[in-house]
Amino acid sequence: MMMGQGFVVQGSNGEFPFLTSSERLEVVSRARQALPKDKLLLAGSGCESTQATVEMTVSMAQVGADAAMVVTPCYYRGRMSSAALIHHYTKVADLSPVPVVLYSVPANTGLDLPVDAVVTLSQHPNIVGIKDSGGDVTRIGLIVHKTRSQDFQVLAGSAGFLLASYAIGAVGGVCALANVLGSQVCQLERLCLTGQWEDAQKLQHRLIEPNTAVTRRFGIPGLKKTMDWFGYYGGPCRSPLQELSPAQEEALRLDFASNGWL
């Protein structure tokens, strides 16, 4: 399965921990209905238990997901050894009717999917790649290197290190910033893939502050506010996430304006 251009729903910015199971499935179903047939739909199906993850993955496939993106279970992170994670993902991939993409997002889970576990899991015929949001380019390069003999695709998990990831062998990205600067993120990909590194570097530099603003700095409330500014619908966040204060909103605006986006 080549992960061409498409969409991810129920990733970290989909507020999935705050949604009921039926709401999570409805989001996938509605997205599938709205998307052209040739666009891939990746759906975040991760839950804390293996059984719940299998059930959610099967259900999401039934309502139209082309692949499942499965975040690391993390509530009992102290016990999430490589062995535990390999067992979890193997079980999910064995029973999933669609390909599985591993998802490591340590900023939210406090857990990095260990490289040795990724390498082992890359050998599973139904595990096709990883979204790595940690931002450690050394780690991304090592995963690319150690999985090079497998049909396994490494995706950058954020727009702030997209150029660096392409330079070291990643083949794509799943980026929160694409919700507001989608064409610019796609343009950065094109520049990297066609070897126009100087232009790519200039564009990458201008995306770093906006990307940090809608991820680490202001999170989902910041992303949704920016979507409203750019003519999309961001809307309110679910509690306990809070709206930005006026001062935070001003700082967010500056991160975009100072880079020429507003």
User: What domains does the chain contain, in order, with CATH numbers?
Assistant: 6-174 (3.20.20.70), 197-261 (no CATH)
In 3-state terms, what secondary structure has residue 194? coil
Residue 94's pLDDT is what? 98
In 3-state terms, what secondary structure has residue 130? strand
Q: Assess whether 37 carries a catalytic annotation.
A: no
Active-site option among 103, 166, 224, 225: 103
Beta pairing class for 100-104 and 153-156: unpaired
| Cross-strand pairs, 132 | 104, 156
| Cα–Cα dist 189/191, whole Å | 5
- Crossing angle for the helix pair 50-62 and 21-34, to the nearest 10 degrees: 30
Beta pairing class for 172-173 and 153-156: parallel
Residues constituting the chain: 262
Per-residue pLDDT of the chain (262 residues), as tens digits, is 445 589 999 999 999 999 999 999 999 999 999 999 999 999 999 999 999 999 999 999 999 999 999 999 999 999 999 999 999 999 999 999 999 999 999 999 999 999 999 999 999 999 999 999 999 999 999 999 999 999 999 999 999 999 999 999 999 999 999 999 999 999 999 999 999 999 999 999 999 999 999 999 999 999 999 999 999 999 999 999 999 999 999 999 999 999 999 9
- Burial bucket for residue 46 (CB in 10 Å: 0-12, 13-18, 19+): buried
Sheet harboring 40-44: ordered strands across?
6-9, 40-44, 67-71, 100-104, 127-132, 153-156, 172-173
Q: Return binding residues for pyruvate.
A: 174
The radius of gyration of the chain from alpha carbons, rounded to an integer in Å, stands at: 18
Q: Assess whether 131 carries a catalytic annotation.
A: yes
- Lookup result for tokens 């695709």: 153
Q: Are 41 and 66 in contact (CB under 8 A)?
A: yes
DSSP E strands in the chain: the ranges are 6-9, 40-44, 67-71, 100-104, 127-132, 153-156, 172-173
Q: Return binding residues.
A: 174
- Lookup result for tokens 């727009």: 159
Active-site option among 37, 75, 131, 166: 131
CA dihedral 200, 203, 206, 210 (to 10 degrees): -100
Q: Are 228 and 234 in contact (CB under 8 A)?
A: yes
Residue 3's pLDDT is what? 52
